[in-house]
Each structure stands twice: as structure tokens, then as C-alpha cells.
Chain A
Amino acid sequence: MIRESYRQKSDTELVKSSLEGDKQAFSEIVKRYQGMVARTVKAMLGDSVFSEDIGQDVFIKLYYSLSGFRGEAKLSTYIQKIAVNLTLNEIKRRKRFFSTFSQKGNNEMYEFEIADHDTEEKKDARELVGKALKKLDPKFRVIVVMRMLQGYSTKETAEILDIPIGTVLSRLSRAQEQMRIILEKM
């Protein structure tokens, strides 16, 4: 009954309640947007337990920055920005780690976890997308994830990544070219 009442609240109402210390309201925000965050984080970093930690970090960062959310942009855009920033930071951190401790240098530790209950066809589809994303440069990968998996328009992608629309379009074009080459080889 209580859950249902939170489900009906708007994002703005949930943010306001969360700022007043209502944990259930924040829990509803997590529930509402965890799928979106999972798509960004897991598609960018690979499907592993580490990705889940980054996903948790996204919501913890959101919790402590809610007072700075002025409602000018949609809450989903705000969360997506946090997710993208934390994910790109994690990729940089992993690259630094591997360039220091590994001979292979640019190995990013991108992992796959294919759920057992998936059909063979679905497993193949996820593996194909995962492997293709892994081979893309992170700056193209993030564009592909925003467009292909999150379904954002060019304008929305530019807003989330804080880059001009022209840059999104040129990166999208180059990402498409790279993706075509990668998929041909698979």
C-alpha cells in the first residue's frame, strides 16, 4: 500500500521527500532508475560484480548531491550524467592500473556474465553486443550505449555528455564505421 503511493509520486516529489530524509522515497528513485543505470554501467564496463559496485556508487553520489538538483533538467538526465562520469572515471582508473601492472597495457577487464535462464539466441545476442562494445574506444562506446541501448536522441546525448551536438554526430558516424568493421570480423 505504502509502496504503491510512492510509485505514483513524480520524480520531483520523490526528490523533495528524499531531501526531507524519507528513505522509502529514495528507494523508489533507485527502483525507478536502476535499469537505466545498469544499461549504462554494464554495457560500458562489462557485466561483472564490479559494475554493480559502480551502479551503487551512482545512487550514493546521487543521494549526497540531491540538494544540488535544481530540477532544471530531468532527474533521469541528472542520474545518467552521474553514471556516465563514474563509468568513464572507472575506465580511466582501470587503464592506469593495467598500464602500471600489466604488460598488455590497454586491457580493460571487460567481463561478461550470461544468465543461465536466457535462451541460446539471447545469450548469443548479448555476447555479440558485449564483445563488439569491448572493442570500441570508450569515447565512441559511450555514444553507442547512449544511442543504441538507452535510445537517446543526438540532442539528449549531447546534453548528458556535455559536448556539442556536432561532436556527437561526428563521433556517432565514426562509431558506426568502427562498429561495422568490428561486426564484419565477428
Chain B
Amino acid sequence: MEISELKALIVRSLDSSSDPGEASRLLEEAGVSYSFGAGFQDKVLERIASTGNAIVREMESVRNLNNIFYRIALSGVAAIVILLISIFMMQGSLSVDAFLGLGSSYDESLLYLLTGN
């Protein structure tokens, strides 16, 4: 196809009343075609496999973090329970005073301790 004919075809193809399918076919015949290089499919699948592995690795690390969090949380809960039991055994109750270690102190002795009289 001559360049002048090609130019006319390009302009004509952009006319809203023209048949777009025919123009694209004629342009392809004239050599205006595009394609990806050889092995394009394989490259896409390779990249999907590698991104898939990255996602799996990310999910595993999140799962590991979750496991670590649960272990720390369980240890914390166990420590709190042991603390409560020991406070109950030493103070005989779980009141605020017992938590502060004041459960078995009399007011007078506390006053004595604070004032020295």
C-alpha cells in the first residue's frame, strides 16, 4: 500500500460512520501489526509462579507471626493466673488492697509505719 493511501485509510478509519473492523484488517495487511516476542506465554507463567511463591512465603510469615503472638498471649495469661493464685493464697482475697499488698495490714500499723509514732 502506498503511503498516501495509508494516510487516507488512517483518517478514514476514524470516521464514526466507517467500518472499524475493515480498517484494522487493511492496516494489518499493510504491515501495521504488533506482537510480543517468542516465549511470551512461558514468561507470563514463570512470573505468575514466582509471584505465587512470594505470596505463599508472605502468608507463611504472617502465619508464623500469628503463632508467636498466640504463644506470647498464652504465656501472659498463664502468668496472670499464677499471680492471682499466689495473691489469693498470701492475702486470702483478690481485693484491690490484696493486690496492693495491704490486705493483712491494720490501719494502726499502717499509720505507725507512715508517721513513725
Q: Determine whether the beta carbon of B45 is less than 8 Å from that of A173.
A: no
Give the contacts of B47-78 with A (CB-CB under 8 A). Answer: 47-48, 51
Chain B binder among A73-81, A99-107, A143-151: A143-151
**A122 and B31 in contact, given A31-B41, A151-B21 (Cβ under 8 angstroms):** yes
A81 to chain B minimum Cβ distance, whole angstroms, is 18
Residues 149-166 of chain A, each 1 if its beta carbon lies under 8 Å from chain B, else 0: 111111000000000000
Give the contacts of A9-59 with B (CB-CB under 8 A). Answer: 23, 26-27, 30-31, 34-35, 37-39, 41-43, 47, 52, 55-56, 59
A10 to chain B minimum Cβ distance, whole angstroms, is 19
Interface size bracket, B side: 20 to 34
A92 within 8 A of B: no
Contacts of B11 on A, CB cut-off 8 Å?
A: 176, 179-180, 183
Q: Determine whether the beta carbon of B16 is less than 8 Å from that of A149.
A: no
Contacts of A126 on B, CB cut-off 8 Å?
A: 31-33
A63 within 8 A of B: yes
Q: Determine whether the beta carbon of B34 is less than 8 Å from that of A52.
A: no
Contact among B24, B34, B47 with A148 in the assembled complex (CB-CB below 8 Å):
B24
Q: Determine whether the beta carbon of B36 is less than 8 Å from that of A151.
A: no
A162 to chain B minimum Cβ distance, whole angstroms, is 19
Contacts of A30 on B, CB cut-off 8 Å?
A: 40-41, 44-45
Q: Determine whether the beta carbon of B16 is less than 8 Å from that of A128.
A: no
Considering the chains assembled together, what is the distance between the CA atoms of A105 and B42 in angstroms? Answer: 37
Contact among B16, B33, B44 with A172 in the assembled complex (CB-CB below 8 Å):
B16
A174 to chain B minimum Cβ distance, whole angstroms, is 10
Chain A residues with a Cβ under 8 A of chain B = 23, 26-27, 30-31, 34-35, 37-39, 41-43, 47, 52, 55-56, 59-60, 63, 118-119, 121-126, 128-129, 132, 144, 147-154, 169, 172-173, 175-176, 179-180, 183, 186
Chain B residues with a Cβ under 8 A of chain A = 1, 3, 6-7, 10-11, 13-16, 20-25, 27, 30-37, 40-41, 43-45, 47-48, 51
17 residue pairs of the A-B complex, CB under 8 angstroms, read A23-B45, A34-B41, A35-B35, A37-B36, A38-B35, A38-B36, A119-B31, A122-B30, A126-B31, A126-B32, A129-B6, A148-B20, A149-B27, A150-B20, A172-B14, A175-B14, A183-B7
